């Protein structure tokens, strides 16, 4: 028996492609990244690649939102909050930004796997 290879950035919540039930775990994970209302659409369960597309758009929108929030916080909030509070908010953005970018990569990897892409470990 061999170990199924996954690339760096593969989400822990999703079993490796080819493992029993892997698509079920991928679908559950992708749904968790989307608004709850998406679960009402049977099309997305039947076609997980479409679900992955929607999840990627959600995550990419969050990345863009974090970038915009970071770049505008000082100017937009200076009259409402103390500078220290704004700096704390910027620290939140600085922490969440890389997490969201990594999440975007994970969604892309799952999407590729749903399309049949498989990885082999490099020696």
pLDDT in tens, 30-75: 999 999 999 999 999 999 999 999 999 999 999 999 999 999 999 9
In the chain, how many domains are there?
1
Give, in order, the Cα–Cα distances in Å from 15 to each of 25, 83, 115.
6, 44, 15
The answer to whether position 31 is within a domain reads: yes
Range(s) of the domain holding residue 27:
22-114
Q: Is the pLDDT of residue 107 over 90?
A: yes
What is the mean predicted confidence (pLDDT) over 111-119?
Answer: 93
Residue 42 forms part of a structural domain = yes
89, 93, 95, 101 alpha-carbon torsion, rounded to 10°? 170
Q: Is residue 8 part of a domain?
A: no
Would you say residue 10 lies in a domain? no
Global pTM value: 0.90
Determine what percent of the chain is predicted with pLDDT higher than 70. Answer: 97
- Asked if residue 25 has pLDDT above 70, the reply is yes
Residue 29 is assigned to a structural domain of this protein = yes
Q: Which residue has the higher pLDDT, 68 or 118?
A: 68
Residue 14 lies in a domain: no
Residue 33 maps to a domain:
yes
């Amino acid at each position: 028996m061999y170990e199924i290879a996954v690339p760096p950035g593969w989400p822990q919540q999703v079993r490796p492609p080819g493992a029993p039930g892997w698509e079920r775990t991928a679908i559950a994970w992708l749904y968790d990244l989307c608004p709850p209302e998406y679960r009402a659409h049977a099309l997305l369960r039947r076609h997980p690649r479409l679900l992955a597309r929607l999840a990627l758009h959600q995550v990419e929108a969050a990345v863009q939102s974090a970038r915009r929030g970071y770049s505008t916080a000082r100017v937009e909030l200076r009259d409402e909050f103390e500078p220290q509070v704004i700096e704390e908010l910027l620290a939140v953005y600085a922490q969440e930004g890389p997490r969201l970018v990594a999440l975007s990569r994970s969604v892309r990897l799952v999407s590729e796997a749903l399309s049949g892409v498989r990885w082999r470990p490099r020696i």
